[in-house]
Amino acid sequence: MADSGVSRAAVLTGAMRIELAEFPLPQVSHDDALLAVAASGICGSDIHYRAEPDIYPRVLGHEVVGRIAAIGDTAARNWGVDAGDLVAVESEITCGLCRGCLRGGYCTGARYYGCSIPVDVAPSLWGGLAQHMYLAPRSVVTRLDPGISAATAGGWFSPLTNAVDWIGPLGADVQPGDTVVILGPGPQGIAACIVAKARGAAQVIIVGLRRDESRLRAACELGADHIVVADEESTVEAVRRLTDGELADSVLDVSGADSSAEVAAHLVKRGGAIAAASPLNRPGIVLPVSDMVMKQVRWHGMRSNRASAAPVAALLLKAHASKLDPLVTHAFPLEQSSAAIDAIASAAPTAGNAPIKVVVCP
Ligand SMILES: [Zn+2]
Ligand SMILES: [Zn+2]
């Protein structure tokens, strides 16, 4: 493709409207690079990005894996990668200059691949739903084992990076021997099962609905010890039974359900931790704050991950690749990027063939 001098991209040109366009391939300088995209994972955020009434036109796709097509000498040295390497790209591009960056905290001037940069900012190729993506200076790029399937990496690297932080000390803070409850068996919940076991959890309980059967089974393949089917039994009663009345040391809420914030608070034992990545901005969502105060619960809101999670995710991806391969259940070509987002959006799964992870392979 590089020979033609252009790259095709799926461009969001208005709310719910994605159209193919071509952009010239940029020349690489000393501190940047060009990625030949192999696979872009689609996640729940893309449903919201596609429907947003602003930032047009732009290229979506923020869970991006590909091969380095061209790279400057400084970037190659700083990032530890070379042309031809299979890499995963963190969506955040930090400024490196603000006080947050300099103190090792949150960047106040961050930009995000597949999300925040419109195509009228050169060189336009700022998202993974394209044949090529531009890798700006200060990108965070992680070399992957060359034997891993690019689709598997595109589907699972990003959920694993999040899970490393959401299950780790910043979030649910799972310690060896702990019981952890994971609310929601989507890709994020499944990745969390892997990380919880890697951190030494004695018991991982995955909670979903009857319609999530294939996802719940996948979670058990990857570390969950018990399934609770929340529309058939009380989650609190089930966890009480599975823990001899002690309840959970920690809870990760990645369900997206309205009731999950409240359920999480009832599942966690005194002094335990809750990591919540489900949005709370809908009417009717209850957070029982006084219960949480009396139990001295540590409650952490979770969003994305730190760059330090990426190398850990690469190791976990390699260790579990053969089990994750079949969990990329849907792969779409670039022309069907919108259908790929539909597949996630309509994940009201009919039994059996519910999507687990969806990727676009440009
Ligand atoms: Zn995502
Ligand atoms: Zn910054």
What contacts 248, CB < 8 A, 6 or more positions away?
A: 179, 180, 181, 205, 239, 267, 268, 269, 272
pLDDT at 265: 96
Among candidates 187, 161, 170, 191, which has minimal Cα distance to 90? 161
**Residues 259, 247: Cα–Cα separation, whole Å:** 18
Please tell me whether residues 21 and 135 are part of one structural domain.
Answer: yes
Beta bridge partners of 66: 37, 87
Q: Which residues of 101-130 are buried (b: 16+ CB within 10 A; e: fewer)?
A: beeeeebeebbbbbbbbebeeebbbbbbbb
Among candidates 281, 263, 313, 293, which has minimal Cα distance to 87? 313
Ligand nearest to the CA of 104: 2
* Residue that finishes a domain, picked among 301, 323, 341: 301
pLDDT at 353: 62
Does some domain include residue 307? no
Could you tell me the distance, in angstroms and rounded to a whole number, from the CA of residue 192 to the centre of ligand 1? 15
Ligand nearest to the CA of 304: 1
Ligand nearest to the CA of 110: 2
SS3 2: helix
Could you tell me the distance, in angstroms and rounded to a whole number, from the CA of residue 190 to the centre of ligand 1? 14
Q: Do residues 222 and 247 make contact, with C-beta atoms less than 8 angstroms apart? A: no
Per-residue pLDDT tens for 202-258? 999 999 999 999 999 999 999 999 999 999 999 999 999 999 999 999 999 999 888
Helix or strand holding residue 51 (H, E): helix 44-51
Report the predicted TM-score, pTM, of the whole model to 2 decimal places.
0.95
Q: Based on C-alpha coordinates, what's the Rg of the chain?
A: 20
Does some domain include residue 308? no
Could you tell me the distance, in angstroms and rounded to a whole number, from the CA of residue 111 to the centre of ligand 2? 9
Please tell me whether residues 94 and 188 are part of one structural domain.
Answer: no
Please tell me whether residues 62 and 89 are part of one structural domain.
Answer: yes
Please tell me whether residues 130 and 231 are part of one structural domain.
Answer: no
Could you tell me the distance, in angstroms and rounded to a whole number, from the CA of residue 271 to the centre of ligand 1? 31
Could you tell me the distance, in angstroms and rounded to a whole number, from the CA of residue 259 to the centre of ligand 2? 36
The domain total for the chain is: 2
Please tell me whether residues 293 and 343 are part of one structural domain.
Answer: no
Does some domain include residue 255? yes
Please tell me whether residues 137 and 260 are part of one structural domain.
Answer: no
Structural domain span for residue 58? 2-158+315-360
**Residues 293, 114: Cα–Cα separation, whole Å:** 39
Please tell me whether residues 266 and 336 are part of one structural domain.
Answer: no
Please tell me whether residues 144 and 188 are part of one structural domain.
Answer: no
Could you tell me the distance, in angstroms and rounded to a whole number, from the CA of residue 171 to the centre of ligand 2? 22
User: How many separate helices (H) and strands (E) can be counted in the chain?
Assistant: 11, 18
pLDDT at 275: 97
CATH number at residue 55: 3.90.180.10
Could you tell me the distance, in angstroms and rounded to a whole number, from the CA of residue 91 to the centre of ligand 2? 14
pLDDT at 3: 60
Does some domain include residue 80? yes
Residues in the chain: 362
Please tell me whether residues 44 and 180 are part of one structural domain.
Answer: no
Please tell me whether residues 148 and 37 are part of one structural domain.
Answer: yes
The label of the residue with tokens 């399934």 reads 227
Please tell me whether residues 273 and 320 are part of one structural domain.
Answer: no
Does some domain include residue 216? yes
Does some domain include residue 310? no
Could you tell me the distance, in angstroms and rounded to a whole number, from the CA of residue 118 to the centre of ligand 2? 20
Does some domain include residue 309? no
Mean pLDDT in each 10-residue stretch from start to end of the chain (362 residues)?
A: 82 95 98 98 93 86 98 98 98 94 90 95 98 97 97 98 97 97 97 98 97 96 98 98 98 93 96 90 85 96 92 98 97 97 73 80 97
Please tell me whether residues 145 and 190 are part of one structural domain.
Answer: no
**Residues 217, 140: Cα–Cα separation, whole Å:** 33
Does some domain include residue 37? yes
pLDDT at 354: 75
Among candidates 65, 11, 58, which has minimal Cα distance to 37? 65
CATH number at residue 197: 3.40.50.720
pLDDT at 347: 59
